[in-house]
Amino acid sequence: MVVHGGGAAADRVGAELGRPPRYLTGRGGRRSRYTDAAALDVLRLGILGRVKPDLVAALTGLGVRAVGLSGVDGGLVTAVRNKPARATVDGVEVVVRDDLAGRISSVDPAVLVTLLGGGFTPVVSPPALGAGGGTLNVDADRFAAALAVALSADWLVVLSDVPGLLADRHDPASLVPEVPVDALDDHLAVADGRMKVKVRAAAQACRDGVRHVVLADGRVDSPVLTACAGAGTRFVKEHCVEAS
């Protein structure tokens, strides 16, 4: 199964529509996309209207029986909308009430099980179904982690444009080969904003039972096989390691 986002494609659609992305910084300093209705529309246009059909068509050309889905399809991923919260937007402190983003509250993997059983490869992405109806933006890495857990997947390979978690983000040679999830805080300290979300999502999947969780480089040839062969940063439960 493939899980993807589409933030860069959404930013291009947004630029064409004269709606550049905006970000909000929460009290804890966490920065996230400010997804008002116009921005959620842009995200959907980029992810569902551009990235996904191109990805599915390309995979089909390679002989994969790819089927595109979002969290809305078959009630796959439901999210609860974020409560109004104080945040800084464009340098101004405001109470954000119109952010159409949320946290994943439940996953119903039935549609994935049906398609996988039929020999298809689901190509899945946000948005999620809002618990109160409509669609909500959710983080794609958390989305991938939640699906891996719901499917009892053996592997979750999170690909990005770095070799994995780096002890020094400016030194690609400083790869952290292993993160014990019980010592997560030490490792979060070295991760920047975007990587923090990936590390948290990966750690959650590991804690929730996905046996092999790897954060690896998506820019190399055969990135998934390379990650499975040992590249990147692996997430391990301390007691699993002791037991083996």
Residue numbers at the binding site for a second copy (CB under 8 A):
13, 16-17, 41, 44-50, 52-54, 56-58, 60-61, 65-70, 72-75, 110-111, 114-115, 117-118, 120, 127, 129-130, 133-135
In the complex, the smallest distance separating the C-beta of residue 63 from a second copy, rounded to whole angstroms, is 10
In the complex, the smallest distance separating the C-beta of residue 158 from a second copy, rounded to whole angstroms, is 24
Residue among 131 and 197 whose Cβ is closer to a second copy: 131
Residue among 135 and 204 whose Cβ is closer to a second copy: 135
Residue among 70 and 233 whose Cβ is closer to a second copy: 70
* Residue 129: both structure tokens together: 């179904």
| Sign of the dihedral defined by the CA atoms of residues 109, 112, 113, 114, in that order | positive
In the complex, the smallest distance separating the C-beta of residue 235 from a second copy, rounded to whole angstroms, is 32
* Residue 126: both structure tokens together: 């946000």
For β-strands 31-33 and 23-26, DSSP reports them as antiparallel
Neighbour count for residue 119 (Cβ, 10 Å):
7
In the complex, the smallest distance separating the C-beta of residue 202 from a second copy, rounded to whole angstroms, is 28
Cβ atoms of 34 and 43 closer than 8 Å: no
Residue among 113 and 197 whose Cβ is closer to a second copy: 113
Distances (CA, A) of 21 to 33, 44, 50, 187: 7, 13, 17, 29
